[in-house]
Amino acid sequence: MHSSALFLIEFGAVILGLGLLGRLAGRLQFSPIPLYLLAGLAFGEGGLLPLGASEEFVAIGAEIGVILLLLMLGLEYTASDLVSNLKTQYPAGLVDATLNALPGAAMALLMGWGPVAAVVLAGVTWISSSGVIAKVLGDLGRLGNRETPVILSILVLEDLAMAVYLPIITALLAGVSLAAGSVTLAIALGVAGLVLFVAVRYGRVISRFVSSDDPEKLLLVVLGLTLLVAGIAQQLQVSAAVGAFLVGIALSGEVAEGTHNLLSPLRDLFAAVFFVFFGLHTDPASIPPVLLPALALAVVTAGTKIATGYWAAKRAGISVKGRWRAGGTLVARGEFSIVIAGLAVTAGIEPELGPLATAYVLILVILGPLTARYTQPLAMRLTGRRKPAEPAALAEAAERPQEAAEPRESVDQHGH
CB 153 within 8 Å of CB 96: no
Spatial CA neighbour of 275 closest among 52, 14, 13: 14
**Residue range 289-308, pLDDT digits in tens:** 999 999 999 999 999 999 99
Q: Is 187 within 8 Å of 195 (Cβ atoms)?
A: no
Q: Where are the alpha helices (DSSP H) in 178-251?
A: 178-210, 215-235, 240-250
230, 217 Cβ separation under 8 angstroms: no
**∠ CA 168-172-176, rounded to 5°:** 115
266, amino acid identity? L
With 0-12 / 13-18 / 19 or more C-beta atoms within 10 angstroms meaning exposed / middle / buried, residue 369 is buried
The DSSP secondary-structure symbol of 250 reads: H
Residues listed for the chain: 416
**DSSP secondary structure letter of residue 289:** G
Contact of 50 with 43, CB cutoff 8 Å: yes
pLDDT at res. 369: 85
Nearest residue to 40 via CA among 24, 28, 54: 54
Helix%, strand%, coil% for the chain, nearest 5: 80, 0, 20
Q: What is the DSSP letter of 364?
A: H
- Both ends of the chain: CA-CA distance in Å? 38
If DSSP states are collapsed to H, E and C, what string results for 55-107?
HHHHHHHHHHHHHHHHHHHHHCCCHHHHHHHHHHHHHHHHHHHHHHHHHHHHH
Query: For position 360, what pLDDT does the model report?
Result: 93
User: What one-letter code names the amino acid at 100?
Assistant: N
Q: Positive or negative, the Cα torsion across 153, 154, 155, 158? A: positive
Say which DSSP state 162 is in.
Answer: H
The reported pLDDT for the residue numbered 125 is 95
User: What is d(CA 369, CA 136) in angstroms, rounded to the nearest whole number?
Assistant: 6
User: Up-side HSE of residue 187: CA atoms within 13 Å toward CB?
Assistant: 21
pLDDT digits (tens, 9 = 90+) for 184-221: 677 767 766 776 677 677 777 777 888 888 888 888 98
Q: Per-residue pLDDT for the chain (416 aa), expressed as one digit of tens each?
A: 556 777 788 778 888 888 898 888 888 777 787 888 788 877 766 566 666 556 677 778 878 887 887 788 778 777 676 677 677 778 999 999 999 999 999 999 999 998 989 999 999 999 998 777 877 887 787 877 888 888 878 887 887 787 778 777 877 887 766 666 677 677 767 766 776 677 677 777 777 888 888 888 888 988 898 888 888 877 766 667 777 877 887 787 778 888 888 888 888 888 888 778 777 777 788 889 999 999 999 999 999 999 999 999 999 889 999 999 999 999 988 777 888 888 888 788 888 888 998 899 889 988 888 898 899 999 999 887 544 444 444 455 555 554 333 333 344 443 44
Helices (H), 146-177: 148-174
Surface-to-core class of residue 138, CB atoms within 10 Å of its CB (0-12 exposed, 13-18 middle, 19+ buried):
middle
pLDDT at 90: 84
Nearest-angstrom CA–CA distance, 211 and 256? 9
Helices 353-382 and 291-315: angle between axes, nearest 10 degrees: 50
Residue 251, burial from CB neighbour count under 10 angstroms (0-12, 13-18, 19+): buried
